[in-house]
Structure 1
Amino acid sequence: MNKSILKPMQNSNRYLLKIMLFFNMIPLVLRQLYLKSKHVVGDKAFSKNLFLKLIMLFIFLKMMHKNNLFTVRTCQQGITELKNVGIKEVVFYGAGNMTNILVILAKENGIKVNGIYDTSLAGRRCLGLEIANETAVKEYTGKIIINYFNDINEKIKRLQSLGVDRSNIVRLI
């Protein structure tokens, strides 16, 4: 991975973290590729040209990799800002594809992750953390990071309807 993604830290931890981030981004890119392949409407000439398909696949993978690196960098900056203002503990609202990466970035910055809340994945585990039902998030009084990248305003409204104070809701993107 690109050096600029991770700030210098202890050598052994830095390389382990880079490897973990790389392997957590692979499923994300594969999922994006799958979704792209399901929704592509192509003409017959294009569908018969294997070489052109391979070129387009390479371009797509390259663009998704750049997009994902940008997303990780943006999230890292947000988590670093939380650390700089003295936040020591957070929870994540949502257990999507970026959850593993965000947990790793939080731990890299010395921020303790107290939990992950997501109704659809409740009961599962993510990097040693059990995913709880979203309604339990109302009991948490610290910062809650929204782990969604679509319909963020809807997620904020949902958290507020659960009784979470708006000042405790953090959006990274």
Structure 2
Amino acid sequence: MLSLSPSLPLRRPLFLLCAAFLTACQAPAVNHDFDAGRDFAAYRSWAWKTPALRYQPDDPHLQSDLTEQRLREAVDEQLDQRGLRIAKADTTPGLDVQGFLIIDNRQQQVTTNYGGPFGPVWGRPWGGGGMIETRNLDYQVTTLQIDLYDHKDGKLVWRGSAEQPTQGDSATPEQRATAIRSTVAKILSQYPPH
């Protein structure tokens, strides 16, 4: 008879698998969409759309000039690396850029089984009773979205976004700047579309 009693060799791979899964869950989920009929090579310059950064919900607690400044610097750096220059005051840009910082409330149901039938797998010939508990977990997700519009017709030509569960607000200014730069780099990694 096969015995699956917990042992150290079995626990270690299980622990490593769980740790790898939890680490992967922390990376932001990045999405891209674009108008396949556009010639992205024709776009050479860009400018910020007014307002440059919109907040959803429109809550004064979320709005921050510091966050907007960090986002502007990160987008400027990434678009410059992709050959797009910020339009001078007396020229017409090819693209208008706008960012969105979106906070969504979400809920997830988690079911936990306590106990249950053990059976012969654990070396016992009998089963045992169990209890199932289902809980609702409320959490917030932060999404950073960057939209690029054709300046001539005002239509959306490219959109990129990254979302992840909202972290605590104990980050230093340097950590916030690094997080925004990293997220913007991931979002704009697929611009121009191939």
Same fold (TM over 0.5): no
Bigger strand fraction: 2
Bigger helix fraction: 1
Indicate the TM-score class for this superposition, using the shorter chain for normalisation: under 0.3
Q: Which of the pair has more CA radius of gyration?
A: 2
TM-score, L = length of structure 2: 0.22
Whose RCO is larger (CA < 8 A, sep 6+)? 2
TM-score, L = length of structure 1: 0.24
